[in-house]
Structure 1
Amino acid sequence: MKLRQLNIMVVIMLCLSLVPVTAFANSVAVSINAIGSVAQGGNVDISGTSALDEVIIKVLRPDNSVVFYTIAPVSEGKFSSSFTLAGRETTGTYKVVAGQADQVGTLNFNVTAASTGGTGGSVPIGTIETPGAGKPITPPTSNASPVTVDTSKNVVSSETASNGRAATIVKQEDAALADALAKAAKQDNHGDAPIVFIAYDNPAGETVQFNLSSAVLAAAVTGAPNTIISLQTNDGEYSLPLSIIDFAAIAQSLGAASTGVSIQVTIAAAGADLDAEIKKNALGISTSQLGKAIEFTITAAGNGKSVELNQFGSVYVERNVVLAAPADVAHTTVVLYDPLTGKFSFVPAVFEKQADGSMKITFKRNGNSIYAVLSSTKSFNDISKHWAKADIELLASKLVVNGVTDSSFAPNNQITRSEFAALLVRSLGLSLDAASADFTDVKSSDWFAGAVGAAVKAKLVDGFSDKSFKPNDTITREQMAVMIARAITAAGIASNAAGESNDSLAPFNDKASISGWAQTAVAQAVEAKIITGMTEDTFFPSANATRAQAVVMLKRLMQYAHFIN
């Protein structure tokens, strides 16, 4: 009997020894392949096997904040994914977590310091990088080092965004946001605004809405009112200055306590239908679209209500996108697209070629909308030998100046008050506003009504005591200087020319003929090298300017304001 039992046990053991280990996969649902050490800025390749249909992959930094997150499908028992580390990523031991619920596998790997030899690999202070592609994105004039917000406790869901489109909603955890804001405010930002950075690694083209606590942001403003929240996806980046948000007024308008209000920033690549519409309308004005259009919106929500935030006064909010291929800066421009009219208008933008050959575009405007990048080459028959040919073609290609006809610019014609107002409005990227043009000699049907109204609203121009604007009068050089000085202020640039007018005007023998009301403005324009004398020692304040002269002044103004390269 005992011998029979022993024989049965031997048979069972032999059978078990022939059963593959994968038959017990329930206890080991995920296995991750080993990962070697990875240098800062390097690629991390994650792969493994699993009995699940799909696995959630998270990679944690040494401080347990999330550096990478994705959902990978499992095909024939295998899964894989990869991402690129930031050039300034923390060194140390990172953890990969893959699986679902309690069926997970983990693996550690090391991130080492990048080599400092040679000419590449380093990332300048103040640079942050896109979540997936490693493209540097930062306000180009900032020396502040962005503080990365811990996103490990964020809640991510799929819902309908504030713009009505299906989107991934990223709710930033309040405590982590408050901690990052406090750290950014306390550190040495080298004289620039504190910046905190939140990124979401979305599939390209997927709409992302970041939800931030209004109460947390309002608290940060009390100690550091110029703080910037940099929100970034793989489609674009939005630098949100907290100074543009009136938190108390928003809460009151929504009838909600500040703790119940959410500031929602949406970054959405244009859908196929809208992109096709933009391409078609671009061809209609002899331009072509580069890349995909993108839309940015800010909404405040609370108490079951919402309000869109879209008027930022003289604060120009920066956004960043990256073109995969280089572009000719002189013939490339960012535009606002109006889907109601199908028309485009210039948006201030600076182009920067990156080490990998791509083109980073930093554009800014005092409102939100749909934006596209266009390539255009424009010239006129009557400027082929004109001294201002290059500047006229530059601003015409950027949709800032128009000809008197499609083929003629009339460069030597004297420019009128309405024409110069229109040029300033376009160069600042302002929206037309015919309703604000309340003058007896400006009709709503006039081509310049919207531009004059926008100029009045931005405090670029004034009318006369008889409530007229005199749109067809020629404009003098000192009048232009006043409008340019006001445009500099409208662009958010401070000036100290008021205390230096005597020095700036000293070279001009006719400085006494400059009207008292224009002297400070002329000094500011001369100091900024936007307007020069007619000769080395004469300014001729009452002389009229030509259309070509106005274009040259406008180009200098835009470069001074960093509105073009």
Structure 2
Amino acid sequence: MKKYPWSQKALRAMIATAVAFTPAVAIGGQATHVEAAQDELSEKITRLVTIYNNLDADGVAVYNKAATALNGLSDSDWEYVVGSTVKQNIDQKAGTGKSVEIAKALAAIVYSANGTTLESQIRSFQTNYSDEFDVVFGSSVTVDKFITFFTEAEKAVWSHLDEAISLASNPTEEAYKNFVRKIRNEVETKNPSLATLDADLRNGMGAGLDDLFSMKTRLDEKLSLTSEEKTSLKTTLIAAIVKTGNPYSSGGGGSTGGGGGSTGGGPVVTLPPTTGAENGKVSVGQDAVTTKEQTNDKGQKEKVTEVKVEKIADIVNLVSAQNKEIALGVGTLGANEVAKAEVPAKLFADVAAKETKAVVNVQTDRASYKLPVVEIQAKLAEVAQKLGSSTDNVKIAIEITKVNPPQGISAVSDAVEFHIVATANGKSEVITRFTQYVERELKGSKVFIPHRSVAVRVDANGKLVSVPTVFNGDQATVKSLTNSTYVVVENNKTFADVDGGKTWAEAYIEALASKYIIKGKTEQTFAPKENMTRAQFAVLLVRALGLPSESYDKRFKDVKGTEWFNENGELAAAVKYGIVQGKGNGLFAPNAPVTRAEAAVMFKRALELSFLNYDQTQLNTAKKVTDFKDAAQIQAWAKDGVEKMYQAGIFTGRENNRFVPGGYMTRAEIAKALAEFLTSAKLMNKVQ
């Protein structure tokens, strides 16, 4: 069966193998050990059954197609799959034809998509082939050893889940092998007793863990699965695994790992009985709220959760540097329903006075909204004045609404509208923009493919605008400076002059194009070797950062403001946020090629935007601009930018350790640098 990259073979086919050892292998000669092993294996089987039952319908269809195709393979096909070395070793020890017979039985389990019959299939395999495995491996490969190995391996895979997902969505044989070696090395380092398992397998049947990949590749080849079907097998199983949950996390479920996403055991949808603090957050309980249902003026059902004024002090007292998140569950999110939190503005003000980094996290089962308290606190006086009220009487309504996604997109999450309204004295004031990234989390309809997916902001006119998004399993963390409707879309964009290794920057170009950040010269061509212009680069940075559009102030003599690069206020946004400052003499020179020095400075200005909150500890300060042989040619205005980008690993030198500050940057070079910048700033998953 296919899992996320590691479990594609090991945690699936080899678990089945491990089960087969159980009745025949005497572990230390003590029956109690065998019984304990059986109990642990039963737990593993139960987990596999649960995972299988979480497969989606499309994936099940592909699994069933593969299972049917197994019946059409000839003995010579199976001999090809098993390989001559394994066939010879097993047949000599267990009997002629046993290698193919066992392979067929294992394959039937591997491609099963029926959780109901899975356990009986494994148990039958156990009964039918226990003697053969005893003959092949003897006592060197024990059940206890397998149990420990698979448990530790799955733990390791969960800690590298983001990498596993990326591998599953863009698979190559060598990448899989490298990933398994990485996992195996980690397991063996932490558990020296497992260091001989691969060698024991190889001694017994002539193949180790790495060789299983080659067998599976040969089997897929004989099944004539399309590349899309092979990918579907992997991503479908990954989705089922993530849905089933991580049994090794402290919270007992949900996804973990790098690259952003949720932590702390998932959203608080159902309020706990009482308010309390633990694991980094303050969970608002039923004792601190009132709930009601009502219909708004749009005819939508609103489920309202209102925080009691008299409970504000209790909540504030629980906030600390260790517990900075105030979790407020507002229930499940139904179609065209509004999940609404009504919070006294005083809560934001009082919490901000105590802990400036605190957030109020309004949570549903499909989406959540992390609102920094300082964003409301900073706007409170102005809003109260407009409402003709004191700040203590202002109420902040945070609304999360499931809406219909735009037409013509491949949506892989719900489309969700986020809305904030301040009310008092029968008046209301909408809050739409922020001075820092405000995070929303969207739950996917499947495990996201990071390099093909992005959250988009749906503007009032229906235009889709890319916003920074980090993926972790089926969780998307969206970072935006404005409120709007957001949805995660999956896109697979390439160009004729990029696809198939036509440029060294293919992976970077395709990832950024799929995220609606970078565009081609035409729909079919990218022109990777052409120089990037100053206007093109400014627009790329604005798109990549998800900056809202701005009005052009006509500051540049050579820019009217109606050009393509300011069609949606992009250049004006780059100016407002200080990314571009012009060439001097009132000129911007939009069509001039961007130099390496200019690009470095623009990247540096973007890196220093306060809302990026860039982790400066990532910089390798041992690197200095003077490392370049042509450092004297780097002008004073560019030295700091060049050095920062060099330290961040975004820029390196060219030939002969020269930076070449006046050299032009190609569109391919900019694509790689931009992707590395976004990854370094934790605004995008790493391009594998």
TM-score, structure 1 as length reference: 0.69
Q: Which residue of the partner structure matches residue 346 of structure 1?
A: 466
Q: Distance in 1 between matches of 2:644 and 2:472?
A: 29
SS of the equivalent of 2:287 reads: coil
* Residues 163 and 222 of structure 1, relative CA distance in 2, 3 Å threshold: farther
Q: Which residue of the partner structure matches residue 518 of structure 2?
A: 401
Tell me which moved more, 229-238 or 175-184. 175-184
Q: Which residue of the partner structure matches residue 604 of structure 2?
A: 485
Q: Which residue of the partner structure matches residue 326 of structure 1?
A: 447
SS of the equivalent of 2:381 reads: helix
Q: Does 1:243 align with 2:365?
A: no
Q: Which one of the candidate residues 669, 673, 685 is aligned to 1:549? A: 669
Letter in 1 for 2:485: I
* Residues 437 and 533 of structure 1, relative CA distance in 2, 3 Å threshold: farther
Structure 1 or 2: more strand by fraction: 1
Q: Distance in 1 between matches of 2:381 and 2:297?
A: 21
Letter in 1 for 2:490: S
Q: Which residue of the partner structure matches residue 549 of structure 2?
A: 432
Q: Distance in 2 between matches of 1:397 and 1:250?
A: 39
SS of the equivalent of 1:298 reads: strand
What does 1:362-401 align with in structure 2 at a 5 Å threshold? Answer: 362-384=477-499, 385-401=502-518
Is the contact made by 1:126 and 1:146 (CA closer than 8 Å) also made in structure 2?
no
Is the contact made by 2:550 and 2:570 (CA closer than 8 Å) also made in structure 1?
yes
Letter in 2 for 1:243: V
Q: Does 1:292 align with 2:414?
A: yes
Shift of 1:251: 1.5
Q: Does 1:176 align with 2:293?
A: no
Letter in 1 for 2:443: V
Is the contact made by 2:331 and 2:339 (CA closer than 8 Å) also made in structure 1?
no
Q: Which one of the candidate residues 355, 366, 375 is aligned to 1:224? A: 355
Tell me which moved more, 398-407 or 429-438. 429-438
Q: Which one of the candidate residues 324, 327, 344 is aligned to 1:197? A: 327
SS of the equivalent of 1:156 reads: strand
Is the contact made by 1:498 and 1:524 (CA closer than 8 Å) also made in structure 2?
no
Shift of 1:181: 2.6
Q: Which residue of the partner structure matches residue 130 of structure 1?
A: 267
Structure 1 or 2: more helix by fraction: 2
SS of the equivalent of 1:382 reads: coil
Gaps of 5+ in 1: 1-116, 135-142, 283-287, 354-358
Q: Distance in 2 between matches of 1:480 and 1:329?
A: 26
Letter in 2 for 1:555: A
Q: Distance in 2 between matches of 1:198 and 1:510?
A: 56
Shift of 1:132: 5.2
Q: Distance in 1 between matches of 2:579 and 2:515?
A: 22
Is the contact made by 2:414 and 2:444 (CA closer than 8 Å) also made in structure 1?
no
Q: Which residue of the partner structure matches residue 393 of structure 2?
A: 260
What does 1:411-560 align with in structure 2 at a 5 Å threshold? Answer: 411-436=528-553, 438-449=555-566, 450-490=569-609, 491-494=611-614, 503-535=623-655, 537-560=657-680
* Residues 178 and 334 of structure 1, relative CA distance in 2, 3 Å threshold: same
Is the contact made by 1:149 and 1:176 (CA closer than 8 Å) also made in structure 2?
no
Shift of 1:330: 1.6
Tell me which moved more, 429-438 or 418-427. 429-438
* Residues 118 and 372 of structure 1, relative CA distance in 2, 3 Å threshold: closer
* Residues 477 and 203 of structure 1, relative CA distance in 2, 3 Å threshold: closer
SS of the equivalent of 2:627 reads: coil
* Residues 459 and 165 of structure 1, relative CA distance in 2, 3 Å threshold: farther
* Residues 133 and 379 of structure 1, relative CA distance in 2, 3 Å threshold: farther
Q: Distance in 2 between matches of 1:504 and 1:317?
A: 34
Q: Which residue of the partner structure matches residue 293 of structure 2?
A: 158
SS of the equivalent of 1:381 reads: coil
Letter in 2 for 1:432: S
Letter in 1 for 2:264: T
Letter in 2 for 1:225: T
What does 1:200-215 align with in structure 2 at a 5 Å threshold? Answer: 200-202=330-332, 204-205=334-335, 206-215=337-346
Letter in 2 for 1:267: I
Letter in 2 for 1:308: V
Is the contact made by 1:434 and 1:452 (CA closer than 8 Å) also made in structure 2?
no
SS of the equivalent of 2:478 reads: strand
Per-residue displacement from partner, 1:266-301 (whole Å, max 9, x unpaired)? 11110xxx43xx1x242xxxxx12232001111211
Q: Distance in 2 between matches of 1:131 and 1:252?
A: 34
Per-residue displacement from partner, 1:336-372 (whole Å, max 9, x unpaired)? 11241x321111111111xxxxx01111111111111
Is the contact made by 2:414 and 2:442 (CA closer than 8 Å) also made in structure 1?
no
Per-residue displacement from partner, 1:295-320 (whole Å, max 9, x unpaired)? 1111211122221112212x111111
Per-residue displacement from partner, 1:499-532 (whole Å, max 9, x unpaired)? 9878422321111211111111111111111111
Shift of 1:373: 1.3
Shift of 1:166: 3.9
* Residues 160 and 308 of structure 1, relative CA distance in 2, 3 Å threshold: farther
Q: Distance in 1 between matches of 2:269 and 2:356?
A: 31
Is the contact made by 1:132 and 1:201 (CA closer than 8 Å) also made in structure 2?
yes
How many percent identity over aligned positions? 29
Tell me which moved more, 491-500 or 331-340. 491-500
* Residues 236 and 178 of structure 1, relative CA distance in 2, 3 Å threshold: farther
Q: Distance in 2 between matches of 1:389 and 1:458?
A: 30
Is the contact made by 2:618 and 2:648 (CA closer than 8 Å) also made in structure 1?
no
Tell me which moved more, 175-184 or 469-478. 175-184
Per-residue displacement from partner, 1:377-436 (whole Å, max 9, x unpaired)? 111111231111111011101111000100011111111110000000000011232434
SS of the equivalent of 1:152 reads: helix
* Residues 553 and 361 of structure 1, relative CA distance in 2, 3 Å threshold: same
What does 1:23-34 align with in structure 2 at a 5 Å threshold? Answer: none
Shift of 1:211: 0.8
* Residues 307 and 401 of structure 1, relative CA distance in 2, 3 Å threshold: same
* Residues 412 and 203 of structure 1, relative CA distance in 2, 3 Å threshold: closer
* Residues 162 and 412 of structure 1, relative CA distance in 2, 3 Å threshold: farther
Q: Distance in 1 between matches of 2:614 and 2:460?
A: 35
Q: Distance in 1 between matches of 2:325 and 2:613?
A: 20
Aligned CA RMSD, in angstroms, stands at: 2.7
Is the contact made by 1:436 and 1:456 (CA closer than 8 Å) also made in structure 2?
no
Is the contact made by 1:337 and 1:369 (CA closer than 8 Å) also made in structure 2?
yes
SS of the equivalent of 1:475 reads: coil
* Residues 497 and 397 of structure 1, relative CA distance in 2, 3 Å threshold: same
Q: Distance in 1 between matches of 2:299 and 2:660?
A: 56
Is the contact made by 2:619 and 2:647 (CA closer than 8 Å) also made in structure 1?
no
Letter in 2 for 1:329: P
Shift of 1:126: 5.3
SS of the equivalent of 1:208 reads: strand
